[in-house]
Amino acid sequence: MAETALRAPPIRLKPNPSGFGAEITGLDLSRPLPPQTLAEVKRAFADHSVVWFPDQPLNHDQLEAFTLQFGAFGDDPYVKPLADRPHILEVRRESEETASVFGGAWHSDWSFQDQPPAATLLHAKIVPPSGGDTLYADGYRAYEALSPAMQRLLGGLRAVHSAGRPYGSGGFYASETVKRSMQILPSVEAEKTHAHPVVRTHPVSGRRALFVNLVYTLGLEGMTVAESAALLGFLFQHMTQDAFVYRHAWRTDMLTMWDNRCALHNATGGYDGHRRVMHRTTVAGETPV
């Protein structure tokens, strides 16, 4: 009986009909999860790529502690973190702000790094009454929907990634003329490049996913600019068609976690005149293969 009493109850899981994305309830993330429960959450994350936990009023210590249950912190360059929390970025947009929405284009976080983050966690602190949804695109199903001939072609290609376009010394953020609440840190370092497979194999699920994105992917190794543009343009459009996209609506105190190794995301606007504040951490990843 004692052994049964100590056994953690199973998590309550509500997947989307497509299987891409799932809500997890019945947990208190302010305390360390029991090993059995943590294993269930990790399994759900591997199965569904995007998971969210409503009604979790976490402070900084608790958000960091939950993040570390999935691995070491990732490296988050080019955005100034909270003053006393080097691993927490505050994604903030004030009510009067007219700057573009941060993260408002399809991307996989920091794919330009040699070892991009495995996961990103975003905790909702202040949510506007409408707007501000996040779109997620399923890289697994996008790959699986391609013809065998296209899969064979892409399987031998590598893509060049760089942070130069948004964060370089002459990039988008360096050229901004309107005030932004978040402090962006443009750098010549952002112009460095790393090449990754166009199709990567997930280290946990073993499934293959497309791994290119509009923001950080510059081109394809061994191809001309025109050839790269044509093939990447097709892939960007293919990956983000409605069939592969889940629109995620936020609530205050919701924690959402997504897998950068197999999913893209895109922050939407639509909440001008309202403040929106999120706290963000990342989990270190591995070199894509």
Indicate which residues carry an active-site annotation. Answer: 107, 109, 265, 280
As a whole number of Å, the CA-based R_g of the chain is: 19
DSSP category for residue 244? G
**Degrees to nearest 5, angle at CA 105 with 266 and 111:** 85
Contact in structure between 215 and 107 (CB atoms under 8 Å): yes
HSE, side-chain direction, 13 A CA sphere, residue 271: 24
Distance separating alpha carbons of residues 234 and 200, to the nearest angstrom: 18
Cα gap 134→75, rounded to integer Å: 22
How many whole angstroms separate alpha carbon 26 and alpha carbon 93?
31
Dihedral of CA 240/245/249/255: which sign?
Answer: negative
Which of 248, 239, 251, 284 is closest to 51 using CA atoms?
A: 248
217 strand-pairing partners: 161
